[in-house]
């Protein structure tokens, strides 16, 4: 009887420490692993697909991002069908070859006049820049969650906003921001150098 109690206590302790160590799953990467293994990927594995359900999980994670007064101005338009993928590939300039085999391409926009505004008036000098800020936050959640799910991404600022607007019937009150490629890396990307820490921070 005493042995059973001790065994039970050991199992419980093992489960508890396991949970505390890595979000309860030994296969989940740590947050730092997500940060350091995420790279801008410019070559995708054509044999690996991503489902609509997985994209839904990814975009659900972006909804946890903070935004100005919880305005949530970011919208996503997802190309996942062969026809729409081919159309978007033609609208990202010299990125086309880089994302040729990505199974999903996501256009991000934000609704103007929400973040940075109160009762229709611009709150400070940044104006709709706060919408772009919130869009970047959402997209940051997206690329990190993607990495945590084992996917890779490429944010593309080089894209034809006007043609994308037509392709997805994006309303005029939304600003088209980045197109984000989503897929699986085909080979290991290199890490571009970062500036020295003391170039970007001052303590007072
Ligand atoms: C707003 C933005 C726009 C970008 N546009 C492009 C692009 O059009 N094409 C591209 O290959 N990379 C693009 N990148 C990726 C950057 O070049 C990349 O993030 C940077 O070199 C650092 O590399 P890393 O993401 O692997 O850490 C963009 C990144 C951001 C944040």
Evaluate if pTM is beyond 0.85: yes
| Residue 58 belongs to domain with CATH number | 3.40.109.10
What confidence score (pLDDT) does residue 27 get? Answer: 77
19/62 same-domain check: no
Task: Please write the tens of the pLDDT for every residue from 94-147.
Answer: 999 999 999 999 999 999 999 999 999 999 999 999 999 999 999 999 999 999
User: For residues 191 and 36, what is the distance between their CA atoms, to the nearest angstrom?
Assistant: 9
148/101 same-domain check: yes
Residue nearest to atom 3 of ligand 1 (CA): 157
Cβ contact 108:88 at 8 Å: no
Query: What residues make up the domain containing 16?
Result: 1-28
57/96 same-domain check: yes
User: For residues 96 and 146, what is the distance between their CA atoms, to the nearest angstrom?
Assistant: 21
Which atom number of ligand 1 is nearest to the Cα of residue 41? 26
70/120 same-domain check: yes
Residue 39 — φ and ψ, nearest 5°? -140, 160
Cβ contact 164:178 at 8 Å: no
Asked if the structure places residue 201 within a domain, the reply is no
Which atom number of ligand 1 is nearest to the Cα of residue 42? 11
- Total domain count, the chain: 2
User: For residues 172 and 93, what is the distance between their CA atoms, to the nearest angstrom?
Assistant: 23
User: For residues 99 and 19, what is the distance between their CA atoms, to the nearest angstrom?
Assistant: 37
Asked if the structure places residue 104 within a domain, the reply is yes
24/115 same-domain check: no
Residue 75 — φ and ψ, nearest 5°? -130, 155
Which atom number of ligand 1 is nearest to the Cα of residue 189? 26
pLDDT tens string, the chain, 204 residues long: the values are 445 544 444 444 344 333 333 333 457 999 999 999 999 999 999 999 999 999 999 999 999 999 999 999 999 999 999 999 999 999 999 999 999 999 999 999 999 999 999 999 999 999 999 999 999 999 999 999 999 999 999 999 999 999 999 999 999 999 999 999 999 999 999 999 999 999 999 999
Residue nearest to atom 31 of ligand 1 (CA): 155
42/134 same-domain check: yes
143/169 same-domain check: yes
Asked if the structure places residue 98 within a domain, the reply is yes
Asked if the structure places residue 169 within a domain, the reply is yes
Cα(13) to centroid of ligand 1, in Å?
A: 44
Ligand 1 and 35: CB distance under 6 A? no
Q: With b meaning 16 or more CB within 10 Å and e meaning fewer, what string describes 107-136?
A: bbbbbbebbbbeeeeeeeeeebebbbbbbb
Cα(41) to centroid of ligand 1, in Å?
A: 9
What confidence score (pLDDT) does residue 13 get? Answer: 39
Which atom number of ligand 1 is nearest to the Cα of residue 190? 26
What confidence score (pLDDT) does residue 18 get? Answer: 36
């Amino acid at each position: 009887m005493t042995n059973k109690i001790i065994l039970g206590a050991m199992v419980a302790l093992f489960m508890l420490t396991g949970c505390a160590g890595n979000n309860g799953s030994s296969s989940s990467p740590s947050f730092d692993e997500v940060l350091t293994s995420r790279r801008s990927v410019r070559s995708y594995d054509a044999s690996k697909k991503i489902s609509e359900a997985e994209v839904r999980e990814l975009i659900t994670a972006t909804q946890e991002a903070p935004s100005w007064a919880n305005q949530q101005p970011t919208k996503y338009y997802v190309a996942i069908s062969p026809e729409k993928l081919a159309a978007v590939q033609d609208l990202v300039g010299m990125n086309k070859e880089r994302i040729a085999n990505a199974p999903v391409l996501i256009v991000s926009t934000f609704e103007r006049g929400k973040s940075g505004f109160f009762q229709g008036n611009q709150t400070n000098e940044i104006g709709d820049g706060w919408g772009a800020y919130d869009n970047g936050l959402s997209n940051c959640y997206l690329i990190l969650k993607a990495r945590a799910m084992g996917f890779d991404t490429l944010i593309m600022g080089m894209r034809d906003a006007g043609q994308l607007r037509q392709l997805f019937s994006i309303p005029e009150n939304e600003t088209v921001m980045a197109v984000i490629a989503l897929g699986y890396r085909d080979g290991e990307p290199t890490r571009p150098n970062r500036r020295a820490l003391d170039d970007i921070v001052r303590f007072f």
